[in-house]
A and B are shown apart, each in its own frame.
Chain A
Amino acid sequence: MNAPPKRVAISGCGAVTRLYYLPALGELAAGGSITVAAVFDPDRQAARSVAARFPGATVADGLEALLAERPDLVFVASPPAVHEGQAIACMEAGADVFCEKPLCLSGVAAHRLQSAARRTGRRLVVGMVRRRFPATQAIRDLVASGTIGRIETVHGFEGGPFRWPVASQRYFSQEVSGGGVFQDIGTHAVDLLTWWFGEPSDLSYEDDAMGGVEANCRLVLRYPGFEATLRLSRDWARPNRYEIRGSLGTIVWSVDEPHRIELSHAGRDRPFDLVARPDAVDSGGSGRASVIDFQSCFTEQTAAAVGMRDAGKLVSVDEAVRVVELIERAYAERRPFAQPWLQGASFQQATP
């Protein structure tokens, strides 16, 4: 006999919900594995348009009303600054939580979330969709197996002119987002780098915030024998890719290719494409092999969150705490990013 559909609720109906959770949850609901019981967003119109996709979903007036619908699982996709309060309230009401990244904005808050999960016995996991990419999984294994030898350098660049459809300029604030491009994309990138290479022994960090939130930053993670440099931007585009150079070979991964990496190996003139088969990702509830793209990985993660498969691959609160702490530490050690066109007095003024 099939299990009854899981009751899920959504808190936060901004761009990430609209663009990615809706297709994923829509597919799962169509397959009968979930019902969306309630939806909440302070922007009631945004909540209504999400709820309209799920027959029977209630538009809740607040989180309390959302939890009164007794969901088994709540997707928290609200602004990062309210993740902690909402996730704890959900767990205390008896719901598991799937929290969009970043988990929260400080190590102290992360530990409170960890404690709340233990105290309530609820499951708290964090959306790190890139862990579902066949490419990132392959990189982790190729590095761990020593296939490219001793790591010598790592360099990643991500970003370009910012195009994420934010609802308000308050998005660009410490209060709402806890930072700029580093808090945003950096959460993904730091999670991957520490997943691939472990905890760094040291770090340095610089960004271009001048009273507001950063649009450019550079993070250097130091490991025994090599450094991993990460450059993020909401400003100017360069190829979005990671290059991991080892003593025996090099891996290149373009961020927009979840299914493919390029591997050069000693003694070979031309690199190899390593391309995942379509059935490497089992999309949603359909059980069909499909094209591996960002959405299919997102849907797979969502399916795991509702307990359909591979729940072990989800990023636990314990792992997410380490990323939150590393980002907090980098911000604490922040130095101004030298902007060579801001000369003399203006640069001094810009970097108090």
Chain B
Amino acid sequence: MTRRVAVVGANGFIGNRLVETLHLGGTFSVRPIVRRTEALALARRFDLDGAVADACDGAALEKALAGCDLVVHAVAGDPATIVASAAATYRAACAAGVGRMVYLSSASVHGQSPPPGTTDETPLSDRQTIAYNNAKVRAENLLRRMRQDGQAGLLILRPGIVYGPRSSWIGGFADDLLAGRGVLVNGGEGICNGIYVDNLVDAVVLALEGRGRDGEAYGVGDAETYRWVDLLEPVAATLGTEPLRVDVAPGPVGGPGLRSSALGTARAMAKSLLPGRVRAALRAGHAAFRAYPAPPRPRRTRREPLVSEEMALLHGCAWKLPHDRATRDLGYAPRISFREGLARSLAWLEFADYPVITASRAGDGEPA
């Protein structure tokens, strides 16, 4: 009998790809769970019935998980939500008789720039400078404690930089590039501990199939070692633009701030400067309109620093996190090469209506 998998956070980048893959794969039946009904828009491309539940609301989750054999927690959120939703989902999974919960933690439990030698066995700290990392550490610790008394099995995955179609690392970076804010820190020479989203989905499927040791956490990543510039520069090339290159000295990171450009606010009436045809058109039908010389439009009004602490640490990473434990226990082997994953991500930019200048298979040629 086909087992039913609930995906909590089904409208997120990873959750959505899980729903796509599990549904189209046919091995599992899928129940997408989202916080608001309207967030089912992508899942409803398939004729899939979803459930609506706040991931921090145990009672609502228990109802949503009824009849499910397995659950994947793919909820994004602020630090408080990360911890609360992990606990609520595990508690609801136990109450609903779910066999196993797969929790998507993050490689950032080791920090954005893990020290050389870091492995899955390295002890974790919840006193890092970045709140997200601490929340993921606390969620893992809490889940392990809950597992001691809970009925549902638990498996934790720690993906690094998950990229692919709809990821912020691709689409968000494209938006930043078009706004003149796409940055490579120190040339992007640091190691990117990336994982193409389908490789992560494969690891989730292995966990859903019962592989791996109960309560254990597994780092997962792509097979290849590559740099940030290898991931991000092709995004810029596809858009015909260049990332800004910002050098940040090692040490405490504040990052150079970006001054928003001061916009001229004075708008002189300028009808007399209009071409004759436009003047005539305005006279004919648009007495209600006034013409102004358009000021340069603000490209972005965000005021946060151009380089965040997180970005500086990521782009300065000097260690490729291993995934040998996942290989040994889960049978994890990255199926999609970096080259292919990147090619699919760049092709998505065209799908998403970005102004690409090259063919959909931009980057470095045909995928392997």
Report whether B40 and A141 are in contact in the complex, using a CB–CB cutoff of 8 Å: no
Q: Which of B267-298 contact A (CB under 8 A)?
A: 267, 270, 274-275, 277-278, 280-282, 284-286, 288-295
Write the A261-282 contact mask toward B (1 if CB under 8 angstroms, else 0): 0110111101111111101100
- Known: A145-B284, A162-B41. Is A340-B46 also a contact (CB below 8 A)? no
Shortest C-beta distance, A15 to chain B (Å), equals 10
Top 9 A-B pairs ranked by shortest CB distance? Answer: A172-B44, A340-B347, A280-B288, A162-B41, A234-B41, A141-B285, A211-B47, A273-B294, A346-B24
Q: Which B residues touch A248, using CB under 8 A?
A: 277
Q: Which B residues touch A270, using CB under 8 A?
A: 293-294
Whole-angstrom CA separation of A249 from B276 in the bound complex: 13
Report whether B289 and A277 are in contact in the complex, using a CB–CB cutoff of 8 Å: yes
Report whether B275 and A268 are in contact in the complex, using a CB–CB cutoff of 8 Å: yes
Is B354 in the interface zone, CB < 8 Å from A? yes
Q: Which A residues touch B41, using CB under 8 A?
A: 161-162, 172, 180-181, 215, 234-235
Shortest C-beta distance, A274 to chain B (Å), equals 5
Q: Which A residues touch B275, using CB under 8 A?
A: 265-268
Whole-angstrom CA separation of A162 from B16 in the bound complex: 14
Shortest C-beta distance, A309 to chain B (Å), equals 15
Is B190 in the interface zone, CB < 8 Å from A? no
Q: Which A residues touch B198, using CB under 8 A?
A: 341
Q: Which of A329-348 contact B (CB under 8 A)?
A: 337-343, 346
Report whether A341 and B344 are in contact in the complex, using a CB–CB cutoff of 8 Å: yes
Is A165 in the interface zone, CB < 8 Å from B? yes
Report whether A213 and B353 are in contact in the complex, using a CB–CB cutoff of 8 Å: no
Shortest C-beta distance, B265 to chain A (Å), equals 13
Out of B46, B278, B344, B353, which one reaches A263, CB within 8 Å?
B278
Q: Which A residues touch B47, using CB under 8 A?
A: 211-212
- Known: A211-B46, A213-B45, A236-B352. Is A166-B38 also a contact (CB below 8 A)? yes
Q: Which of B1-53 contact A (CB under 8 A)?
A: 11, 17, 20-21, 24-26, 36-50, 52
Q: How large is the interface on A (under 10, 10 to 19, 20 to 34, 35 or more residues)?
A: 35 or more
Is A209 in the interface zone, CB < 8 Å from B? yes
Q: Max chain B CB contacts within 10 Å: which of A165, A236, A238, A263?
A: A236
Q: Which of B315-366 contact A (CB under 8 A)?
A: 344-345, 347-348, 350-354, 360
Q: Which B residues touch A157, using CB under 8 A?
A: 353
Report whether B45 and A274 are in contact in the complex, using a CB–CB cutoff of 8 Å: no
Shortest C-beta distance, A300 to chain B (Å), equals 13
- Tell me if A's interface is mostly helix, strand, loop or mixed: loop
User: How many interface residues does B have (CB within 8 Å)?
Assistant: 58
Report whether B352 and A273 are in contact in the complex, using a CB–CB cutoff of 8 Å: no
Out of A238, A265, A266, A279, which one reaches B354, CB within 8 Å?
A238
Is B243 in the interface zone, CB < 8 Å from A? no
- Known: A138-B286, A235-B166, A341-B165. Is A272-B274 also a contact (CB below 8 A)? yes
Q: Which B residues touch A272, using CB under 8 A?
A: 270, 274, 278, 291-294
Report whether A276 and B24 are in contact in the complex, using a CB–CB cutoff of 8 Å: no
Report whether A273 and B292 are in contact in the complex, using a CB–CB cutoff of 8 Å: yes
Out of B50, B289, B347, which one reaches A341, CB within 8 Å?
B347
Is A147 in the interface zone, CB < 8 Å from B? yes
- Known: A172-B44, A248-B277. Is A231-B353 also a contact (CB below 8 A)? yes
Q: Which A residues touch B20, using CB under 8 A?
A: 342, 346
Additional A-B contacts beyond A145-B277, A340-B350 (17; CB < 8 A): A134-B289, A146-B277, A165-B38, A168-B37, A212-B43, A213-B44, A231-B353, A236-B166, A238-B354, A262-B294, A266-B275, A270-B294, A273-B293, A274-B291, A277-B288, A339-B165, A342-B24
